[in-house]
Amino acid sequence: MSDKMPYKYIILSAENNIATLTINRPESRNALNDEAMREFKDALHQVEKDAATRVLIITGVGTSFVAGFDMKDINEMTRDGFVEYVKLESEIFNLVECFEKPVIGAVNGYAIGNGFELALSCDIRIASEKAKFSYPETKFGWLAPVQRLSRIVGMGKVKEILYTGRFVDAPEAAKLGLVNKVVPPNDLMMEARAMAQQIAAVAPLAVKLTKQEVNSYIAQVEGEYAFNMDSCVKCFRSQDLMEGMAAFREKRAPRFQGK
């Protein structure tokens, strides 16, 4: 794998058996639009094909890890376009979760919506003291995911986080087990690389097979659970969603009607 790939929104680099994938849309706080998602997917395939890479680190530039869905895109989306976006999003999270190589999320700032989900898809999460996590979907009339969060956090806390859309700061995230470690912002990448070096130093096949065993166990525990696309589509173009988006743009409190 070459040190630099020709992406617009992704910076991909590799050194000492460790690849780093950095999301680079600072003007949108690294919100993932369709083009960024497709670049992200391609970059994952590049890393997976590289025999020299043993560990992948995912992070973001600036003050955000990933600040969720790009709000500017939704007004232009058709229903079919929305469904395709959600499918691509889900595919990427599954790729990260089932990636043959261990994945470390270096959460440098805001991990909101699909950014929270991306962080939870990683095997290990190291957070900056400035990191904040949130599924704000209910604030916009949207549907938040359940599966990955519920693996880590008790169901009462899952419901609280999803129903309220509130932020979970780095110390609370550590207390809940959402992150493995919280470090000062300037130490984040050093700590992530140190963890990656520890993993890269052990037997790669054993790590790969261990990850497969863990994922197999999770699949058995969760049974046939699958994301309900029908529920997601019901929120799309609902009056509440349109009101939530308008309130966000106009910087006012939304007036939801439950329709």
pLDDT, tens only, 51-73: 999 999 999 999 999 998 776 66
**Res 225: pLDDT:** 55
Q: Hey, CA dihedral for 240, 109, 181, 225, is it positive or negative?
A: positive
The predicted model gives 65-92 an average pLDDT of 80
Percent of the chain whose predicted confidence (pLDDT) is above 90: 66
Is position 216 within any domain?
no
Closest CA to 257 of 232, 236, 239, 244: 239
Is position 77 within any domain?
yes
The predicted model gives 164-178 an average pLDDT of 97
Is position 234 within any domain?
no
Residue range 19-41, pLDDT digits in tens: 999 999 999 999 998 899 999 99
Is position 235 within any domain?
no
| Active site (catalytic) residues | 117, 137
**Res 115: pLDDT:** 96
Number of domains in the chain: 1
Q: DSSP letter string over 54-100?
A: -EEEEEESTTEEE--B-HHHHTT--HHHHHHHHHHHHHHHHHHHT-S
pLDDT at 3 over 60: no
Q: Hey, CA dihedral for 10, 11, 16, 18, is it positive or negative?
A: negative
CATH number at residue 184: 3.90.226.10
**Res 30: pLDDT:** 96
Question: Identity (one letter) of the amino acid at 30?
Answer: N
Is position 196 within any domain?
yes
**Res 68: pLDDT:** 84
Answer yes or no: are the C-beta atoms of 66 and 112 closer than 8 Å. Answer: yes
CB atoms within 10 A of CB 27: 8
* C-alpha pair distances (Å), 223 with each of 123, 214, 217, 220: 20, 14, 10, 5
The predicted model gives 129-148 an average pLDDT of 89
**Res 246: pLDDT:** 76
Please provide the average confidence, as pLDDT, over all residues in the chain: 89
Is position 98 within any domain?
yes
226-258 CB burial, b ≥16 within 10 A, e <16? ebeeeebeebbebebbbbbbebeeeeeebebee
**Res 134: pLDDT:** 97
pLDDT band at 143 (very low <50, low <70, confident <90, very high): confident
Q: Where are the alpha helices (DSSP H) in the chain?
A: 34-49, 71-74, 79-97, 114-121, 147-152, 155-164, 170-176, 188-200, 204-222, 229-235, 239-250
**Res 72: pLDDT:** 66
**Res 252: pLDDT:** 84
Query: Domain of 37?
Result: 10-205
pLDDT at 219 over 90: no
Is position 212 within any domain?
no
Which of the two residues, 224 and 129, has the higher pLDDT score?
129
**Res 217: pLDDT:** 86
Lowest mean pLDDT among 20-24, 85-89, 135-139, 244-248: 244-248
CB atoms within 10 A of CB 101: 22
**Res 1: pLDDT:** 58
CB atoms within 10 A of CB 50: 16
pTM of this prediction? 0.86
Is position 124 within any domain?
yes
